């Protein structure tokens, strides 16, 4: 026996099938969106003289929060640290649109990314105009994309000397960072040996306000010395890394 379906009945069946499929997609869409999560976080280290614990504690805390971390540096050669860190990507190959946030790690080596610094460091390895220009371009892209720009310890000085539309992205903002000394440099005909100039001078001279160490939260520790000012998130040092990473992770999960 041949089964025949009238045109009107076929249309009814198709409409019912489309409605069922639409209902199913609407039900699973939120779960799919939740599972996708934010794009990876780009973490920038220097190829020499970066502070390993600033990097390691921040990275492990971000990953514990479920975020993927991609490590970038001026080149992909192994960083001069113990343990050795091999960057995943060179700054020249980074596309800001592939990442949800950028994080600058700590250590004096991060001075190589200080785009607007007008002095000359005694350590020639810290003079890297190409790397500084690439870092500055990325900071501008993240700022213009209204994405989070974060830094820990001496990495905050990179933000201080960045230039977005001619000004520092932390000018007029409150940040925290390394409360120790800066590497040696020459500026304005004067020579400043390593350890003689407070690192906070590099931040405050660029128009940012930087509270004293342990001024945030519990005065007995710097573990909670993390400041959020708009899309700028900063931390004092590796002791603050866990709270720093968790603060950034919460902001990314919340989409703010």
Write out the chain's pLDDT in tens, 256 residues.
444 444 445 454 444 443 443 443 344 334 334 446 789 999 999 988 889 999 999 999 999 999 999 999 999 988 666 788 999 999 999 999 999 999 999 999 999 999 999 999 999 999 999 999 999 999 999 999 999 999 999 999 999 999 999 999 999 999 999 999 999 999 999 999 999 999 999 999 999 999 999 999 999 999 999 999 999 999 999 999 999 999 999 999 988 5
User: Which domains does the chain possess?
Assistant: 41-254 (3.40.50.880)
The β-bridge partners of 150 are: 103, 233
Q: Which of 105, 45, 38 is nearest to 244 (CA)?
A: 105
- What are the angstrom distances between the C-alpha of 173 and each of 23, 78, 211, 233? 47, 34, 11, 11
d(CA 186, CA 205): 16
Per DSSP, the three-state class of 185 is: strand
Rounded to two decimals, the pTM is 0.85
> Exposure of 241 by Cβ count < 10 A (0-12 exposed, 13-18 middle, 19+ buried)?
buried
User: How many residues are present in the chain?
Assistant: 256
Order the strands of the 190-192 sheet from edge to edge: 120-121, 185-187, 190-192
Q: CB within 8 A of 203, min separation 6: which ones? A: 156, 157, 160, 170, 175, 177, 210
Cβ count within 10 A of residue 181: 18
Contact present, 233 and 247 (Cβ < 8 Å): yes
Per DSSP, the three-state class of 147 is: coil
Q: Which of 168, 188, 179 is nearest to 120 (CA)?
A: 188
d(CA 97, CA 69): 15
> What are the tokens at 167?
């000004």
**Rg of the Cα atoms in the chain:** 24
Order the strands of the 89-90 sheet from edge to edge: 89-90, 69-73, 41-44, 101-104, 148-152, 232-235, 226-229
């Amino acid at each position: 026996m041949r089964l025949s379906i009238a045109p009107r009945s076929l249309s009814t069946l198709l409409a019912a099938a489309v409605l069922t499929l639409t209902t199913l997609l609407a039900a699973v869409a939120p779960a799919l969106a939740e599972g996708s999560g934010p794009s990876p976080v780009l973490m920038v280290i220097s190829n020499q003289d970066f502070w390993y614990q600033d990097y390691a504690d921040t990275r492990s805390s971000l990953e514990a929060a479920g975020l993927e971390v991609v490590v970038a540096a001026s080149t992909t050669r192994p960083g001069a640290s113990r343990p050795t860190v091999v960057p995943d990507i060179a700054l020249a190959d980074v596309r800001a649109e592939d990442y949800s946030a950028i994080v600058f790690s700590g250590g004096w080596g991060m001075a190589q990314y200080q785009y607007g610094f007008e002095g000359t460091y005694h350590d020639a390895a810290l003079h890297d105009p190409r790397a500084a220009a690439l870092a500055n371009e990325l900071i501008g892209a993240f700022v213009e994309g209204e994405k989070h720009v974060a830094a820990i310890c001496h990495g905050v000085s990179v933000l201080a000397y960045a230039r977005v539309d001619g000004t520092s992205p932390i000018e007029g903002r409150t940040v925290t960072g390394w409360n120790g000394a800066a590497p040696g440099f020459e500026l304005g005909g004067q020579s400043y040996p390593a350890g003689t100039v407070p690192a906070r001078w590099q931040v405050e001279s660029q128009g940012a306000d930087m509270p004293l160490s342990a001024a945030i939260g519990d005065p007995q520790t710097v573990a909670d010395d993390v400041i959020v000012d708009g899309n700028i998130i900063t931390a004092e040092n590796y002791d603050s890394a866990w709270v720093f990473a968790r603060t950034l992770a919460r902001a990314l999960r919340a989409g703010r």
